[in-house]
């Protein structure tokens, strides 16, 4: 049942009003369409583009739904994605609004008849067909398959005739006619509710978004397949996020999730109820899968992707093999007793001896470790060893684990892998980089771009703060680039396809907007039901429009609360009102021609636990790092170097002034300085509040 909001009258009342208006319009001497110059017909491509853009139907390439990628989206023979309106046409096809002719063509440059336009308008707005004929003299000329749509639009008063007496169903519709019909429809009926991700593709889990193209409309919905009413739950992305639908262990291997929704706005006819069904499937037990991403050469490693569809979060592991050795980076979530990843790799991939490196000791990346402990070296950062005991409970097995941290290297033959650390998602998170080939293996820290998963990965765990993480991220990126290092391909723990350097920069930018804007740089969670409502995140881009070029990171606490997600120390409490404007500190300093002697930077108290039968205490810190709140440093410079280049980066991009040795410089500018033994370099900064200041001194020590 449709309702006319504001008056709460039955839909028939609204139709009666619309019919009266329509009849009055027909008494006029001529339609306003008659004034449109001949030859101003709209093409099919232009018409569909208007429809698609209004409803914001994303193209399959615009969002990273890996289950959609597994099924090729149909394309028309005469439309390419790269065409001017190619994406809009293919998106409309995905929504079921248009179809190909008998030859598989769309004929984008052809005109579109008035009755064809009526059918598409009615389908897009989900307007029920009518059986009431029009009063036009040529009513009999309307095609049988178009009558229901034409009658409905005429009945609503949304599509007048070409003249006062004639509908002219076979005439090509003109641009001004389309625009007028569109305006009338938008001012008469509420647009239907649409849903993402699309329903066509089976997946192990879904994060569901509902949306309506009518500004200010209220969406009412149900998740149990029952009919929604105005007493049902209200949906907004801000309040509900993307609602998680996932198979529980007692529901395996499959079920259907059914949503029903409609939208309401005062003064407009409510939308029809729409039904959305997502098919969830996850096998109880399945085999590992692999894909070769990079072939081995004499100077670059082979890279294989490994995963298992039986896993609830479907993590990725990466097997990297050079000329002499291989490395398995991460060990998935499949129970070690159920399937043996080592056996699978030995049989299908490995041609050389190999080691296991655990990127961080979360269950979805480490559960297979027991299958490797007997015959392979296992490397893991000691900051995560307490968690590793869940998978390696035997002290004898624990004793075989080798610590790994920033500065370590692995020569696998033809490729050197450098180790870095970037905590936050987990204190033990480590990263591998092949500098020469531009390959980075990061486990989870850089997030995930799966649109259907709404993966705003938590990055402020174990006491981490956003400003310290920003500093660490900038220092790690600087290290990646040292010695000509490249950052071409980023392999994460949950993206099925390698990302690009831009995703590393997005990570920094997402944290930077929090530092620069405080709470205004934050957003509510994308993960409905998984996280508490309004959980604090930082978001850049749109998962439904930007492909893999977006990011969402969960910070800490709830929007508007007093959670300290920024540093609170003797210098300042950056969490307080406008506290972010007090950042007068550096977050990073790059030095060419010399080496900074860093500090140990801790983000929480040391961790004490028992491992390999012994009690141990581990610092939750990174060593030899730049510390934003330490102000005196030494720079080691080779005797032969008469100058060094310094690139200072301030924590806030909004600082009022940066001076190097008394001379004002720009944010992240490159500055060459003549040096000798004992040279003292000063950097002073005035914060965005134009009051708080910091002064750093760097003393040169020749060697």
Q: What pLDDT is stored for residue 387 in this prediction? A: 95
Exposed e or buried b for every residue in 364-388, given b needs 16+ CB within 10 A? bbbbbbbbbbeebebbbbbbbbbbb
Query: Using one digit for the tens of pLDDT, what is the confidence trace for 299-320?
Result: 999 999 999 999 988 999 999 9
> How many residues can be counted in the chain?
703
Q: What pLDDT is stored for residue 12 in this prediction? A: 38
Give yes or no for residue 16 having a pLDDT over 70: no
Q: CA-CA distance, 45 to 112, in Å (whole number)?
A: 9
Q: Are 629 and 602 in contact (CB under 8 A)?
A: no
**Beta-strand relationship, 242-246 and 205-212:** antiparallel
Can you state the percent helix, strand and coil of the chain, rounding each to 5?
25, 30, 50
Q: What pLDDT is stored for residue 454 in this prediction? A: 73
Q: What pLDDT is stored for residue 38 in this prediction? A: 55
Q: What pLDDT is stored for residue 372 in this prediction? A: 98
Confidence band, pLDDT 50/70/90 cuts, at residue 69: confident
Confidence band, pLDDT 50/70/90 cuts, at residue 74: low
Strand partners, 616: 609
State the DSSP string of 227-264: PP-TTSEEE-HHHH-EEEEE--TTTTTEEEEEEEEEEE
Confidence band, pLDDT 50/70/90 cuts, at residue 72: low
Q: CA-CA distance, 338 to 286, in Å (whole number)?
A: 9
Mean of pLDDT values over 36-40: 62
Q: Is the peptide bond before 253 cis (omega within 30 degrees of 0)?
A: yes
**Beta-strand relationship, 274-281 and 233-235:** unpaired
593: left (phi over 0), alpha (psi -120 to 50) or beta: left
pLDDT above 70 covers a percentage of the chain that reads: 94
Q: What pLDDT is stored for residue 2 in this prediction? A: 38
**Beta-strand relationship, 489-492 and 439-443:** parallel
Q: Listing from the earlier edge strand, what are the strands of the sheet with 671-674? A: 586-592, 643-650, 671-674
User: Which tokens in the block code for residue 644?
Assistant: 């060094």
User: Which tokens in the block code for residue 250?
Assistant: 């007692």
* Spatial CB neighbours of 614, under 8 Å, sequence gap ≥ 6: none
Q: What pLDDT is stored for residue 71 in this prediction? A: 67
Give yes or no for residue 26 having a pLDDT over 80: no
Query: Using one digit for the tens of pLDDT, what is the confidence trace for 632-681?
Result: 999 999 999 999 999 999 999 999 999 999 999 999 999 999 999 999 99
Round the average pLDDT of the chain to a whole number and report it.
Answer: 93
Q: CA-CA distance, 29 to 164, in Å (whole number)?
A: 6
Give yes or no for residue 17 having a pLDDT over 50: no
Tally of CB atoms within 10 A around 443: 30
* Spatial CB neighbours of 219, under 8 Å, sequence gap ≥ 6: 193, 210, 211, 212, 234, 235, 236, 261, 262, 263
Q: Is the peptide bond before 197 cis (omega within 30 degrees of 0)?
A: yes
Query: Using one digit for the tens of pLDDT, what is the confidence trace for 156-207?
Result: 999 999 999 999 999 999 999 999 999 999 999 999 999 999 998 899 999 9
Q: What pLDDT is stored for residue 456 in this prediction? A: 84
Q: What pLDDT is stored for residue 60 in this prediction? A: 87
Mean of pLDDT values over 445-454: 85
Query: Using one digit for the tens of pLDDT, what is the confidence trace for 353-390?
Result: 999 999 999 999 999 999 999 999 999 999 999 999 99
Q: Are 486 and 435 in contact (CB under 8 A)?
A: yes
Exposed e or buried b for every residue in 85-108, given b needs 16+ CB within 10 A? bbbbbbbbbbbebbebeeeeebbb
8-state DSSP, 61: G
Closest by CA to 265, choosing from 320, 332, 220, 209, is: 220
Mean of pLDDT values over 494-502: 95
8-state DSSP, 33: G
Q: Which helix (H) or strand (E) holds 505?
A: helix 501-517
Q: Which helix (H) or strand (E) holds 63?
A: none
Q: Are 62 and 52 in contact (CB under 8 A)?
A: no
Closest by CA to 498, choosing from 62, 59, 66, 60, is: 66
Q: CA-CA distance, 566 to 629, in Å (whole number)?
A: 13
Query: Using one digit for the tens of pLDDT, what is the confidence trace for 120-129?
Result: 999 999 999 9
Q: Are 316 and 453 in contact (CB under 8 A)?
A: no
User: Which tokens in the block code for residue 256?
Assistant: 């259907």
């Amino acid at each position: 049942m449709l309702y006319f909001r504001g008056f709460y009258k039955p839909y028939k009342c609204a139709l009666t009003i619309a019919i009266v208006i329509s009849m009055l319009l027909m008494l006029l001497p001529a339609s306003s369409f008659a004034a449109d110059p001949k030859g101003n017909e709209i093409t099919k491509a232009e018409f569909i583009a208007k429809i698609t853009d209004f409803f914001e139907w994303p193209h399959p390439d615009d969002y990273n739904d890996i289950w959609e990628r597994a099924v090729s989206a149909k394309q028309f023979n005469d439309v390419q994605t790269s065409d001017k309106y190619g994406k809009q046409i293919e998106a409309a096809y995905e929504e079921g609004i248009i179809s190909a002719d008998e030859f598989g063509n769309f004929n984008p440059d052809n005109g579109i008849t008035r009755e064809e336009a009526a059918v598409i308008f009615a389908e897009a707005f989900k307007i029920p067909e009518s059986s009431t004929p029009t009063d036009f003299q040529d009513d009999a000329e309307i095609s049988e398959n178009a009558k229901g749509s034409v009658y409905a639009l005429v009945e609503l008063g949304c599509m007048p005739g070409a003249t006062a007496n004639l509908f002219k169903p076979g005439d090509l519709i003109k641009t001004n006619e389309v625009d007028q019909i569109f305006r009338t429809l938008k001012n008469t009926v509420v647009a239907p509710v649409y849903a993402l991700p699309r329903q066509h593709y089976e997946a192990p889990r879904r994060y569901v978004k509902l949306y309506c193209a009518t500004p200010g409309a209220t969406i009412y919905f149900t998740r149990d397949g029952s009919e929604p009413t105005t007493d049902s739950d209200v949906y907004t992305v801000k309040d509900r996020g993307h609602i998680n639908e996932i198979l529980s262990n007692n529901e395996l291997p499959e079920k259907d999730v059914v949503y029903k929704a409609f939208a309401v706005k005062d003064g407009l006819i409510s939308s029809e109820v729409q039904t959305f069904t997502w098919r969830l499937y996850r096998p109880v037990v399945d085999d590992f899968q692999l894909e070769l991403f990079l072939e081995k050469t004499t100077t670059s490693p082979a890279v294989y992707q490994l995963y298992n569809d039986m896993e609830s979060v479907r993590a990725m592991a990466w097997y990297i093999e050079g000329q002499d050795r291989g490395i398995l980076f991460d060990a998935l979530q499949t129970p070690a007793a159920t399937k043996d990843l080592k056996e699978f790799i030995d049989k299908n991939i490995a041609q050389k001896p190999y080691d296991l490196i655990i990127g961080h000791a979360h269950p979805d990346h480490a559960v297979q470790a027991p299958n490797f402990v007997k015959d392979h070296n296992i490397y893991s950062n000691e900051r995560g060893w307490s968690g590793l005991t869940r998978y390696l409970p035997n002290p004898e097995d624990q004793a075989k684990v080798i610590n790994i941290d920033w500065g370590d290297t692995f020569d696998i033959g033809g490729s050197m892998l450098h180790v870095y650390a970037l905590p936050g998602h987990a204190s033990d998170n480590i990263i591998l980089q092949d500098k020469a080939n531009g390959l980075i293996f990061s486990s989870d820290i850089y997030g995930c771009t799966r649109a259907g998963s709404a993966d705003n990965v938590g990055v402020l765990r174990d006491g981490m703060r956003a400003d310290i993480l920003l500093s660490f991220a900038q220092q790690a990126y600087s290290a990646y680039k040292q010695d000509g290092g490249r950052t071409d391909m980023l392999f994460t723990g949950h993206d099925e396809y390698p990302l690009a350097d831009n995703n590393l920069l997005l990570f920094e930018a997402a944290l930077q907007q929090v530092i620069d804007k405080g709470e205004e740089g934050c957003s509510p969670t994308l993960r409905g039901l998984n996280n508490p409502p309004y959980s604090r995140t930082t978001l850049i881009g749109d998962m439904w429009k930007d492909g893999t070029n977006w990011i969402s990171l969960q910070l800490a606490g709830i929007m508007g609360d007093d959670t300290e997600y920024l540093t609170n120390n003797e210098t300042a409490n950056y969490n307080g009102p406008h506290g972010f404007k007090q950042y007068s500190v550096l977050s990073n300093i790059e030095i060419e021609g010399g080496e900074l002697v860093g500090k140990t930077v801790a983000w929480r108290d040391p961790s004490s636990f028992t491992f390999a039968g012994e009690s141990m205490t581990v610092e939750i810190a990174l060593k030899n790092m730049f510390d934003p709140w330490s102000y005196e440093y030494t720079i080691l410079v080779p005797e032969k170097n008469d100058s060094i280049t310094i690139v200072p980066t301030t924590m806030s991009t909004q600082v009022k002034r940066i001076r190097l040795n008394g001379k004002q410089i720009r944010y992240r500018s490159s500055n060459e300085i003549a040096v000798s033994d004992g040279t003292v370099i000063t950097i002073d900064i005035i914060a965005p509040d134009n009051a708080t200041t910091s002064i750093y001194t760097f003393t040169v020590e020749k060697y």
